[in-house]
A and B are shown apart, each in its own frame.
Chain A
Amino acid sequence: MFSALANPARFMAFSRWAAPILALVAAGLIGAGLWLGLNAPPDYQQGDTVKIMFIHVPAAWVAMMAFACLGGASFISLVFRHALADAAARAVAPLGAAFTGVALVTGSLWGRPMWGAWWVWGDARLVSVLVLFLLFLGYLALRASIDDEAKGARAAEILALVGLVNLPIIHYSVQWWNTLHQGESVMRAGGSALAPVYLTPLLLAGAGYSAAFGALWLARIRSEVWRRRATSLALRAALA
């Protein structure tokens, strides 16, 4: 019990400062990125909808990153039985679902004026983000439905790893499906052809979103560590 707390203690000391600093960095980067982005001239093809790109594409990036973090933390927790890794996996899933949801809503609002439809199945990236959202929901549902904490953690880890192995295949299969049913001309965004006036704010916002994700993740892991301490203290008080 106390040896398990040794590492979390070091983590708590570190994250106490790292989380607010990361949050400040995130606010600065997102502020700078959006300032430049909102000042950007309308794109000759997309018009002013290009301004949605600066918030949609970073959210989709972070959503993918969050699933990779979920899989990585689950792997560490499963193999090395590290308590903090399980706390990290548990903490990252709601954030990943939220970023995925933001990416879906903004993508839909981007698609409406560009494609004339709220949702176009012809865009492979949008569809794989949707499947990603469903994977996060499945993880959260499994975790929420198991009362026994240790068993819930282990089952969720196995599911996260199965999902992590599957995710590249899902991504590839959706892309392949998309080329198969080619019809709509899909807009190209985030490619290397992007002009610097759009690329700079996009990269700034992407870095800012990643920092915000990091800050929120650290804060949620801290919250999870406190939750566990409170549970074990309450148990000890009940047994005494």
Chain B
Amino acid sequence: MTVLMVLIRRELSLAWARGGGALLAVGFFVAAAVMLPLSLGPAPARLAAVSAGVTWVVLSLASLLSLDRMFERDFDDGALDLLALGPLPLEVVAAVKCLAQWTVSGAPLSIAAPVVAVALGARPEAAPMIFVAAALGGLAFAFLGGTGAALALASRRGGVLIAVIVLPLLTPPVIFGGAAISNFADRLPWITAVSLLAAYALACVALTPFAMAGACRNAQS
């Protein structure tokens, strides 16, 4: 267990240091959200209609930001080779990396999301659901994003490639989360949407580590 703890602590501090960590993701998120009233005009009714949806989309984009350094850094300095030889299977290492990514970018984003959405005109009652959806969706974004980052490892050009690979895969969580937020705000049944989002996030947590480990071994070979 102590090996796992050491790994978790290492990944957390790396993720925190990586490209400014939480500050970068939240900064991008807020800055992108500010662009919305600037491009749509300040009319509150128009902003309120799209606030929750836009928050959700910008959130999924913000979670893609620091992905390209997720595996690349350890790959470059040889730490990934050591981790592969270490006592923990690469699948666990990949899962811990994604959880660390979620802790430093997904969790702060899910706190910022309700604030931004309400500032744009979403009903304050929707805030709890935006928080829950952002936290659950962020989990799916982190693990699917990690899969894209691990696959792009062999290409030596992360960035846009990761986004092109990952964005179509994000369709289900974006739909489920968006539905949960809008249904909750409109006082419609929202249990189904949240359960689907949670189920999808858990499936990502359970399955994508195998794809990530396969992709890392492939890049190392």
Contacts and interface: CB of A to CB of B under 8 A. Distances in A.
Direct contact of A and B (CB under 8 A): yes
Interface of A: 131, 134-135, 137-138, 141-142, 145-148, 150-152, 154-155, 158-159, 161-163, 165-166, 169-170, 173-174, 176-177, 180
B213 to A, nearest CB: 10
A139 to B, nearest CB: 8
A131 B171 contact: yes
B214 A158 contact: yes
B82 interface: no
Contact of A162 (B164, B176, B211): B211
Contacts of B108: none
A161 B211 contact: yes
B221 to A, nearest CB: 7
Interface of B: 147, 151-152, 154-155, 157, 161, 164-169, 171-172, 175-176, 179, 183, 196, 200, 207-208, 211, 214-215, 218-219, 221
Nearest to B199: A169
B191 to A, nearest CB: 14
Contacts of A180: 179, 183
Given A141-B164, A155-B215, A146 B155 contact: yes
Contacts, number: 81
A151 B154 contact: yes
Contacts of B167: 134, 138
Contact of A173 (B172, B215, B221): B172
Given A173-B172, A173-B196, 15 more contacts: A138-B168, A141-B164, A141-B165, A142-B161, A145-B157, A150-B221, A151-B221, A159-B165, A165-B207, A166-B172, A170-B171, A170-B172, A176-B196, A177-B175, A180-B179
Contact of A158 (B196, B215, B221): B215
Find the residue from A137, A161, A170 having the highest chain B CB count within 10 A. Answer: A170
Contacts of A142: 151-152, 155, 161, 165
Nearest to B207: A165
Contacts of B207: 165
A163 B169 contact: yes
B148 to A, nearest CB: 8
Contact of A177 (B165, B179, B200, B214): B179
A109 B176 CA distance: 30
Contacts of B166: 138
B171 A155 contact: no
A158 B214 CA distance: 8
B154 A146 contact: yes
16 contacts: A131-B171, A134-B168, A138-B164, A141-B164, A145-B152, A147-B155, A154-B154, A154-B214, A155-B218, A155-B219, A159-B165, A162-B208, A163-B168, A170-B171, A174-B175, A176-B175
